[in-house]
Amino acid sequence: MRKRSQRLWLIGAAGLLGVAAIALAASGLKDTVAYFYAPSELVEKNEIKPGQSVRIGGLVEKKSIRHGADGSVLFRVTDGTNAVPVTFSGLLPDLFKEDQGVVAEGKFNADGELVAKRVLARHDETYMPKEVYEAFRKKAEMEAAAAKKAPGT
C-alpha cells in the first residue's frame, strides 16, 4: 500500500469513529432532553404523551394543592387559561405556594398527569418564562377585548 492510500484509510476510519461517537452521544442524551411548555400549549395542541419528558411553567392554581396519603403533593400548574395536574414526591421549595410561579420537570403518566422529578419555585417576582408570559398576555388581551364588547351588547 502506498502512503497516500494509507492516509485515505486513516482519514476514513477517523471520520467513521467520529460519526459513531456523535450517534452514541445523541442516543444517550435523548432521554435527558426536556422541552419547556406552557400548560395551554400542552392542552390545546394535545401534546401530552405518556413517558414524554417535559418542563412546564406557570402559576400554582389556587385551591389546587392536596397532600396524598403516601406523602406526595398534588397540584395544578396554570397559565391562566389551561391547567396541567402535577404529582410530586419530595421536598418542595420554600417559596412554593398557591398563585406563585413554578417550573415542574418530569414525565407524563397514562392519566395525563405530570409526575415531577423536580419542582422549582421562582425566586424573583419579575421572573417568568417567555412562554408563560406570552400566554398570560394573550389571555389579558382576550379579556380586554371581551370587556369592550360586553357593555355595548
The string of pLDDT tens digits covering residues 45-102 is 776 778 878 888 888 888 999 998 888 999 999 888 888 999 999 888 888 888 888 8
Together in a domain, 20 and 61: no
pTM over 0.85: no
Together in a domain, 45 and 115: yes
Together in a domain, 50 and 29: no
Averaged pLDDT of the chain:
82
Together in a domain, 9 and 51: no
Together in a domain, 71 and 146: yes
- Cα separation, 45 vs 38, in Å, equals 11
Closest C-alpha among 75, 81, 80, 83 to residue 119: 75
Instruction: Using a pLDDT cut of 70, give the percent of the chain over it.
Output: 84
- Cα separation, 147 vs 119, in Å, equals 36
Together in a domain, 92 and 27: no
pLDDT beyond 90 at 20:
yes
Q: How many separate domains does the chain show?
A: 2
Together in a domain, 70 and 124: yes
Together in a domain, 52 and 117: yes
Together in a domain, 48 and 74: yes
- Cα separation, 84 vs 113, in Å, equals 7
Together in a domain, 41 and 23: no
- Cα separation, 96 vs 77, in Å, equals 12
CATH number for position 109: 2.40.50.140
Range of the domain at 11: 1-33
